[in-house]
Amino acid sequence: MVMPPRRPILLCLMLASGALPAQAALTESAFFDEMPVVLSVSRLSQPVSEAPAAVTVIDRDMIRASGFRDIPDLLRLVPGFSVAYSDFNTWTAAYHGLGDAFSRRFQVLVDGRSIYSPHNGAVYWSDLPLAIDDVERIEVVRGPDAAVYGANAFAAVINIITKTAAQVPGGFASMQAGDKDMRGLTVRHGGGDEFVRYRLTASAQQRDRFERDVVKLDDGIPSDDSGQYFEATQTYFVNGRIDWQSAPDADVMAQFGLSQGNWDAGTRTSSLGSLLEPTEQDSRAQYFQLSYHKVESERRDWRVQFYHSQNRFDANQEADFSVLLPSIGVVGVNQYMRQRRTSLDLVVNEQWTPSLRGVWGGELWHESVQSPQSYYFSGAQSGNVARVHGNLEWRAHERVLLHGGALLEHHYFTGTDVSPRVAANFTVAPGHVIRMGISRAYRSPTFFEENGSQVFTNQSGDIVDVNTVPSEGLEPEQILSREIGYVGQWPGARLEMDVRLFDDDIDDFIGDSSLDLYPLDVIRPKELQYANRGSVHSRGGEVQLRWRPLPVLDVSAYFARILLSTDIPPDKSLGKDIPQSAPRNSWGLLARFLPGGGWESSLFIQRVDHVKWLADGDFTEGFTRVDVRLARRWKWQGNELEAALVGQNLGDDYTELRDTNIFSRRAYASFSVAW
């Protein structure tokens, strides 16, 4: 199903020379009427063929057909992404490699609200007060987009767009139950009138993440990591949204969310350091978001938005070393952490002439982290970020669309940086567009990378172990990204294709290394410190397609090839691991079949080459995952019902992030009703 990377280039040459199939005689509007329209790439509404960067749209049909019940799993449908569940109720994802237990190098937004962690760069997907049933679509910008979203829109941007209150009138309930103690219940109600609409959602979710019995062999002998591994999560949340048409030309949107999560784990290992790892964690998250949108004329509208969000984690235990290390005694583990972010931003869209439009605005935010054990030497962390941005779109010719823009940002650690982007889209024939672009982006260090100092003390207050020491001052990571893309559409075949060839240079890569500063440490003999380690070169290509040859068949597929290299010496762990941190080849397919009578079946296949996850991640072998879903919809007494059966990973077991995280075959059933 996937075309070789060189074939689209030959196709483009054929298009340019006039060697077109018969359907090319159709009008340009006929080609683009069904081309997905995106909002995330430049904050301007535009078809994907006119966007200045590659973008993947995961729509509601794909979300339902996938059978996924965890939002980060949906990134398995995007070329170039690696996805894994970590631990501590945390998922991780990486785009083009360089991934570890945290998702440091892309920005994640929910209706324009950033959920990127200022502490360590993670995205706390499991604590997000959002049901997958409330997600309308996800737009993934594949490539840097700092010219629009600032630092940390470094490798990609994920914008989760939820359903408006008007889209979900009435009641809805969804239930799931299956293997690995999977349980889920979501209840939603929507109502209101033509001026004010609301929706309210409550959900409870429970999972056992992996196989518990783990046998790791070292030269045929079970290693110390063999044993029982228990990883279970529970999450409860409620969220609400109000959409108010306050005037014919103005509207107000308000949202809130609250979540409570519980994580339980257990492991049997002989490592002294494992005694310092908590086996329970409580988490809480909350947010409030308010936006006002005003349409001043056909040529100008603006939006102002405010939000405040907070995450709190609590994991406490005591590790008794009295028998093994009498001089240390009992060590307290207090992984309390609170993160806050408050943001105010303005976005203005203007159409100056029929061929020239733009978007500009600015944002101020304050973020802070409080964690006594993670910042033992440096105390509570806080800082302010200010940014202004502007982007233009100029149709210089009926076949030429030019893009230019930049963002100026002042960050509390790295000072002032400018992130520019220029791109051009050339329509070589109706429905066939070549895109070329170049951009620069920055990733500012997180609080923990800059000032982290994780220290453990005993009951007497004496320091017995130092795990991390503050950096000596970090420069932001920089990426210079160059890409050539092709977007094609064949209405007769109902086929859409997107090809991206990229060449990225990353400088001042931030990574950790081991030091020996505290020779009296006996639990963990070395300390970690973050520093700018060197440069990374990433190149490769991606192909994605959407094929709907018949009303009953819908196929999405992709292929990605990624090559990484670095100037960090191979005798260093990063120098050895970085080239392996992205799968050399990966591909995926999601096929949806609707035979009629309310029946629906779907097939998901993913193939990923081996990966070496950085930091405390492991080398994981390549795997092929196969999921299937069978569902039926029907109406009963005016209600809409759906029953489904989903089988996940029907082939061999595979590992995620760590070689003890074994994802095995599993199945679940679901039932939903809307009234």
The SS3 of residue 30 is helix
DSSP per residue over 182-202, as a string? EEEEEEEEEEE-SSEEEEEEE
DSSP per residue over 344-365, as a string? EEEEEEEEEETTEEEEEEEEEE
Q: In angstroms, rounded to a whole number, what is the distance separating the alpha carbons of residues 652 and 189?
A: 40
Q: In angstroms, rounded to a whole number, what is the distance separating the alpha carbons of residues 452 and 443?
A: 17
Domains of the chain: 7-674 (2.40.170.20)
pLDDT in the model for residue 166: 95
What CA–CA distances, in Å, run from 354 to 303, 363, 392, 394? 22, 28, 13, 9
Residues in the chain, pLDDT under 70: 1-34, 217, 219-220, 224, 267-274, 519-522
Region of 88 please: left (phi>0), alpha (psi -120 to 50) or beta. left
Q: In angstroms, rounded to a whole number, what is the distance separating the alpha carbons of residues 489 and 497?
A: 6
The SS3 of residue 267 is strand
Q: What is the signed CA dihedral for 469, 474, 479, 480, rounded to 10 degrees?
A: -150
pLDDT in the model for residue 215: 77
Which residues are bridge partners to 338 per DSSP?
312, 370
Residue-wise pLDDT for 162-194, tens only, equals: 999 999 999 999 999 999 999 999 999 999 999
**N- to C-terminal Cα separation, the chain:** 40
Burial level of 505, CB count in 10 A (0-12/13-18/19+)? middle
> Which element (helix H / strand E) includes 574?
helix 573-577
pLDDT in the model for residue 273: 63
Q: In angstroms, rounded to a whole number, what is the distance separating the alpha carbons of residues 176 and 187?
A: 12
The SS3 of residue 274 is helix
Q: How many helices (H) and strands (E) are present in the chain, helices listed first?
A: 6, 42
> Beta strand 477-490 with 356-370: parallel, antiparallel or unpaired?
unpaired
User: Which phi and psi angles does 454 have, rounded to 5°?
Assistant: -85, 120
The SS3 of residue 560 is strand
Q: What is the signed CA dihedral for 10, 12, 18, 21, rounded to 10 degrees?
A: 80
Could you tell me what percentage of the chain is helix, strand and coil, using 3-state DSSP and rounding each to the nearest 5?
10, 60, 30
- Identify the CA nearest to 78 among candidates 487, 500, 653: 500
- Identify the CA nearest to 152 among candidates 391, 441, 474, 581: 441
Structure tokens at 490: 């064949």
Strand-by-strand arrangement of the 316-320 sheet: 316-320, 330-334, 455-458, 463-466
379 neighbors 359 (Cβ within 8 angstroms):
no
pTM of the model: 0.91
The SS3 of residue 61 is helix
Place of tokens 């992205």: 582
Q: In angstroms, rounded to a whole number, what is the distance separating the alpha carbons of residues 641 and 649?
A: 26
Q: In angstroms, rounded to a whole number, what is the distance separating the alpha carbons of residues 156 and 168?
A: 30
Place of tokens 């859409």: 496
Structure tokens at 83: 């996805």
39 neighbors 303 (Cβ within 8 angstroms):
no
The SS3 of residue 24 is helix
Burial level of 260, CB count in 10 A (0-12/13-18/19+)? middle
- Identify the CA nearest to 71 among candidates 117, 120, 138: 138
